[in-house]
Structure 1
Amino acid sequence: MHQTEEEHLIEMINQIAVNNISAGDDSAVADVIAGHVKKFWPRRMKTMLNDCIVQGGSQLHPAALLAGKKLFSLDAQ
């Protein structure tokens, strides 16, 4: 079964979250994820992530969702 580009993006960012869980709590992990996305992801992928978050981000790891909210200043708390 083939993944959509959005499904692949969600899988990638969730994997980044899982791989960095040792960074601490969700906020600390979110900082690592946000730094990675900011540094390595092209604008198109960032836009797709933003769209996913605006739609609720229910498939995202909690730290990945928080990272996106921090990146896009979407009521990160």
Structure 2
Amino acid sequence: MFHTEEESIVTMINQIAQNNVSAGSESEVADMVENHIVKFWSRRMKKILAEQLASGTAEFEPAALVVAQRLSAKASA
């Protein structure tokens, strides 16, 4: 299946959240996902993530949505 870059970014953050669900609460999972993204994702990837959040059309896992919102708020500040 072919995915656009935007779809791939959303898929990746959702997979990271799903793979860390054993970390505990949604907040704890979100902390782990956020740490991963801050360490390993490029500015371009983070920008695409923010754009997908702003579009309102992407389907995020709950912890992934928390992370996207956190990072978007930090980028705006």
TM bucket, shorter chain: 0.7 to 0.9
Point out where structure 1 has 5 or more consecutive residues left out of the alignment.
none
* TM-score (normalizing by structure 1): 0.86
SS at match of 1:31: helix
For these two proteins, the number of residue pairs brought into alignment is 74
CA shift, 1:12, in A, is 0.8
Equivalent position of 1:12 in the other structure: 12
* TM-score (normalizing by structure 2): 0.86
CA RMSD of aligned residues (A): 1.5
Between structures 1 and 2, the one with greater helix share: 2
Point out where structure 2 has 5 or more consecutive residues left out of the alignment.
none
CA shift, 1:25, in A, is 1.4
Structure 1 moving runs of 4+ over 3 Å: none
Amino acid at match of 1:20: N
For the 8 Å contact 2:53–2:68, the answer to whether it is kept is yes
Say yes or no: does 1:55 pair with 2:55.
Answer: yes
